[in-house]
């Protein structure tokens, strides 16, 4: 089963997430998400990715975000106190406060590549990575202690549909965790960067 394709008629007049309403859930994609994290390498760090970067030699930069053994998720997220959150389950570092300016897919990807966050290597998350943040049964459908102020809106992923629909990308609406896709050039959605 594939998600319903949503086309935004007038993205400038549509609030973020509105063009994602009513899309069907895709259990197949959720299963793929769980499987993909079995092979994710722990690479969540709050320091510069370059071991030779000495631009701030006095700063504390040795803390890494490691995956927890045994699937313990009681302390899944850690606030790095620098605008980022470490996910101990996936080993990823997330932007704590999402960029609340709706953008088309390409602009969202550019924002993440140049995100004003500590360290380097920021990018738009894949669908599986973004889906790992969904917290079922809550509104918004995300851990609001780790990600306070998250808008109830749709967020882009970097995952593009297969041709002939490759002008669309998958997205998740954090109002209720609904999954779907939108036109990359027309829809204005939000983005939360990851590395």
How is the chain split into domains, by residue range? 17-37+94-191
| pLDDT tens by residue, the chain, 195 residues | 333 333 332 333 334 444 443 333 343 343 333 333 322 333 344 333 332 222 222 222 334 565 555 444 458 999 999 999 999 999 999 999 999 999 999 999 999 999 999 999 999 999 999 999 999 999 999 999 999 999 999 999 999 999 999 999 999 999 999 999 999 999 999 999 999
Nearest CA-CA partner of 33 in 166, 144, 125 = 125
What distance in Å separates the CA atoms of residue 156 and residue 172, rounded to the nearest whole number? Answer: 7
- Tell me what pLDDT residue 86 has: 96
Asked if 112 and 192 count as a contact pair (C-beta separation under 8 A), the reply is: no
- Tell me what pLDDT residue 34 has: 34
DSSP E strands: which ranges in 120-188?
A: 154-160, 168-173, 178-183
Bond prior to 164 in cis (omega within 30° of 0): yes
What distance in Å separates the CA atoms of residue 134 and residue 173, rounded to the nearest whole number? Answer: 9
pTM reported for the whole predicted model: 0.68
- Tell me what pLDDT residue 21 has: 34
CA distances from 89 to 22, 71, 119 (A): 30, 7, 20
- Tell me what pLDDT residue 114 has: 96
- Tell me what pLDDT residue 74 has: 58
- Tell me what pLDDT residue 65 has: 61
Asked if 81 and 87 count as a contact pair (C-beta separation under 8 A), the reply is: no
Architecture of the domain spanning 17-37+94-191: Roll (3.10)
Nearest CA-CA partner of 25 in 184, 124, 173 = 173
What distance in Å separates the CA atoms of residue 30 and residue 173, rounded to the nearest whole number? Answer: 14
């Amino acid at each position: 089963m594939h998600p319903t394709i949503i086309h935004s008629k007038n993205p400038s007049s549509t609030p973020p997430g509105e063009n994602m309403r009513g899309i069907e859930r895709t259990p197949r994609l959720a299963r793929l998400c769980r499987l993909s994290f079995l092979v994710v390498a722990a690479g969540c760090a709050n320091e510069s990715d370059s071991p030779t970067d000495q631009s701030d030699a006095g700063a504390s930069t040795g803390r890494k975000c490691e995956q927890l053994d045994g699937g313990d998720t009681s302390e899944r997220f850690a606030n790095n106190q620098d605008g980022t959150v470490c996910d101990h389950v996936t080993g990823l570092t997330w932007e704590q406060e999402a960029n609340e300016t709706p953008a088309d897919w390409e602009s969202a990807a550019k924002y993440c590549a140049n995100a004003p966050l500590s360290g380097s290597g920021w990018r738009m998350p894949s669908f599986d990575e973004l889906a790992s943040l969904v917290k079922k049964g809550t509104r918004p459908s995300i851990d609001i202690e780790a990600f306070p102020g998250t808008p109830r809106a749709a967020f882009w992923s970097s995952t593009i549909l297969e041709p002939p629909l490759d002008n669309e990308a998958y997205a998740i609406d954090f109002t209720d965790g609904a999954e779907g896709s939108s036109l990359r050039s027309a829809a204005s959605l939000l983005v939360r960067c990851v590395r």
